[in-house]
Amino acid sequence: MMSTTLNMETTAQELSKAFMASYPLKSARHLERMEAAEAAGLLEIQPIHVVAGVWKYLPPGTTDAIFSQLDEQTASNLIAFLDSHLAIALLGRLEDDKRVHLLSRLKESQPSLVSEYQDLLRFPPDSAARMMTTKVQAFSADLTVADALAILRRNPGTAQDVLYLLDNHQQLVGEVPLADLVSAQPASGLATISQPVRTTLEALDDKELVTEKFEGYRTRAIPVLDTQGQLVGSIGYFEVYQSTKEDLASDMQTMVGVSKEEKALSSSWFAVTRRLPWLQINLLTAFAAAAVVGAFEGLIAEVTALAILLPVAAGQSGNAGAQALAVTMRGLTLREITTRHWNRVLLKEILAGALNGVAIALTCAVGVYLWSESVGLALVIALAMVLSLIIACGAGALVPIMLKRLGLDPAQSSSIVLTTITDIAGFMSFLGIAMLLSDMLPKG
């Protein structure tokens, strides 16, 4: 009976190993839905190369939770086996004492790797050095195709999409796509089948420049050089995609006053401490909008229908501003635009706001007229709608760009600033126009 149980457990382990090795992406999705401790237990019984293959498809929040549950042996083995950019990203998110303990444990078996990681951790978090992998394939340009293939065969599983060529001074002189290498004549020199390096990055280049270069050159990988021009690593398209996806998720949270560090399973107290300050600031902006309404107290008392329509004016301008903000933030995050494009973005959003404003104004005017049978009230809401949408769309475009120009995080503050502008613009345009056309409005 015990032998049968052991055989079943062994079979289950082999099946899970085979599935993870063959379907790392599907395995990652399954692990995301599991409790962190359960997922860690499953990974601990897998070969480390299988774990590393699945790990790169897990989002940062999931990796942090699972990593915290791994035993020390598996955790240190994983750090040693992962591509350097994944290992550095993981180490960078650990608490200082945990990171020091893990590296000191790893140093006993792999001192050179720990030294390399410690050097990389000294670079700024958003630098190319923190995104690159140091496991690059670099060959002397004097070698032949047969020489390079022999080296790759001696190191199975290490071949990459692009191989780099170095001269006698270890300077980068060309690159060879792996597909070209395997189809070339064995006696051919690597230099004869190489291509010029289209672009390079420096280790201290920031993340924005990295993304811009990938957008501009449409390449699979870009080599990273140190200050002496020597090859120290490369950044692949997948790493840039993952980084951009994380940025978008973080920006989405901070736009609504939620900390980047907060996860779905964070404690309630952690959520309160991160959210409450922004809610307090939002409260102040709400009082500012209320002060605008208070300035027209007499008019509202005289024409009570205005109070009913106030949420319509403010709501539509808020929605329009949020749309413009989302598009502009996406453009800034993906580096489709920079602060230099502010005039083009502003003009586009103002025009979009005007056209949408006219369309919404016509619909709104018809509805208000059918409800109130007042041409004056319909005209007021129509004019206010056009004006408030123009202001809201313009603000949605300009606010994040201006904040970025001032060196502030646009994702952190844009939403609060925009909400204040759209609320005040909506109330002011509606009540201001109503004041000008008060003779046309129904009293009572």
Q: pLDDT digits over 197-248, tens only?
A: 889 999 889 887 888 888 778 788 889 998 888 888 888 877 777 776 666 5
Q: In this predicted model, which residue has the larger pLDDT, 338 or 251? A: 338
Structure tokens at 104: 């000191």
> In the prediction, which pLDDT does 348 show?
95
Query: Which residues have a Cβ under 8 Å from the Cβ of 410 and sit 6 or more positions away?
Result: 329, 332, 399, 400, 401, 403, 404
- Report the range of poorest mean pLDDT among 100-114, 257-271, 311-325, 329-343: 257-271
For residue 49, pLDDT over 60 is answered with yes
- Residue ranges per structural domain of the chain: 2-122, 138-252, 268-440
Q: pLDDT digits over 228-237, tens only?
A: 888 888 888 7
Report the range out of 26-35, 53-62, 228-237, 340-349 with the highest average pLDDT.
Answer: 340-349
Share of the chain above pLDDT 90, in %: 18
State the CATH class of domain 268-440. Answer: mainly alpha
- Give 330: exposed, middle or buried? Use CB within 10 Å, 0-12, 13-18, 19+: middle
For residue 257, pLDDT over 70 is answered with no
The full DSSP string for 51-88 is: HHHHHTTS-HHHHHHHHTTS-HHHHHHHHHHS-HHHHH
Model pTM score: 0.57
For residue 135, pLDDT over 90 is answered with no
- Give 395: exposed, middle or buried? Use CB within 10 Å, 0-12, 13-18, 19+: buried
Please state whether 60 falls in left (phi above 0), alpha (psi between -120 and 50) or beta: alpha
- Report the range of poorest mean pLDDT among 34-38, 243-247, 271-275, 397-401: 243-247
Q: In this predicted model, which residue has the larger pLDDT, 47 or 170? A: 47
Q: In this predicted model, which residue has the larger pLDDT, 262 or 134? A: 134
For residue 332, pLDDT over 90 is answered with no
What is the fold, at CATH topology level, of the domain defined by 138-252? CBS-domain (3.10.580)
> In the prediction, which pLDDT does 2 show?
43
State the CATH class of domain 2-122. Answer: mainly alpha
- Give 66: exposed, middle or buried? Use CB within 10 Å, 0-12, 13-18, 19+: buried
Q: pLDDT digits over 136-173, tens only?
A: 888 888 899 998 888 888 876 666 788 899 888 888 99
Phi, psi angle pair for 35, to nearest 5°: -65, 145
Report the range out of 9-18, 189-198, 350-359 with the highest average pLDDT.
Answer: 350-359
pLDDT-based confidence at 6, cuts 50/70/90? very low
pLDDT-based confidence at 255, cuts 50/70/90? low
> In the prediction, which pLDDT does 211 show?
80
pLDDT-based confidence at 15, cuts 50/70/90? low
For residue 31, pLDDT over 90 is answered with no
> In the prediction, which pLDDT does 4 show?
42
pLDDT-based confidence at 375, cuts 50/70/90? very high
For residue 3, pLDDT over 80 is answered with no
The full DSSP string for 260-287 is: TT--TTS-HHHHHHHHHHHHHHHHHHHH
> In the prediction, which pLDDT does 392 show?
93
For residue 8, pLDDT over 70 is answered with no
For residue 5, pLDDT over 50 is answered with no
Average pLDDT of the residues of the chain: 83
> In the prediction, which pLDDT does 389 show?
95
The CA distance from 209 to 316, in Å, is 37
Q: pLDDT digits over 352-373, tens only?
A: 999 999 999 999 999 999 998 8
Per DSSP, 23 falls in state -
